[in-house]
Amino acid sequence: MTALRDYQNRPGVDGARLRAVLSALMRRREELNAAGANFMQKLRESEFLNAIKHRSAIPGGTCEFDLPDFYHWLNLDPDTRESDLAAWLATIRPLCESVSELLWITRENARPTEETATGGVFQIIFERDRPVQLLRITLPGASRLYPEVSGSHHRCSLRFLRWNSVHSRPVQATEDVSFVLATCY
């Protein structure tokens, strides 16, 4: 938040928008502080949720005979299930909204640039003194391509693959691929 406060005195900054963002962040911080350090303890101690969590990792582990109480709960009326879900989500809502707000700020901090992946491949070398938080890669909606990203703190490689079907493996694009890259610091 200190970094955002530094923008208050810069020319061209929308002061009202900045105050609204700072206010929202302060509100999220207060909500998290009010929730306390053990705000998820209720969910951790729930035998019902723990049984589902542990059994769902096993293929077929959430079957009727393995988790009869879960099966029973799934067959309760929708209002009861929605009420239970709402209570569980209310427990984690302050954290979810805080993360969502911080991701929004991170995403909006980027300046998108139009790039071309020559032969379907693109290399990015990151500045050592500016750690990258997030990359956003945008392709046209009708594109049958998707990016495969691999890398580390210092560099990143993008390979654009062509989707064929569920019955065959994707193939790397060999043509030049235009895309929009936003590097979020």
CATH superfamily of 113-184: YacF-like domains (2.60.440.10)
Q: Which residue has the tokens 């969590």?
A: 53
Q: Give pLDDT tens digits for 126-150.
A: 988 888 888 999 998 888 899 999 9
Sign, CA torsion 18/19/23/26: positive
pLDDT tens readout for residues 14-25: 878 888 888 888
Q: pLDDT at residue 88 above 90?
A: yes
Domain with CATH 2.60.440.10 in the chain: 113-184
Question: Please, which residues have CB within 8 angstroms of residue 23's CB and are 6 or more apart in sequence?
Answer: none
How confident is residue 4, by pLDDT bands cut at 50, 70 and 90?
low
**Model pLDDT, residue 6:** 66
Q: Count CB atoms within 10 A of the CB of residue 110.
A: 17
3-state secondary structure of 162: strand
DSSP H or E stretch at residue 10:
none
pLDDT at 11 over 80: no
Q: Secondary structure of the chain: what % helix, strand, coil (to 5)?
A: 45, 25, 35
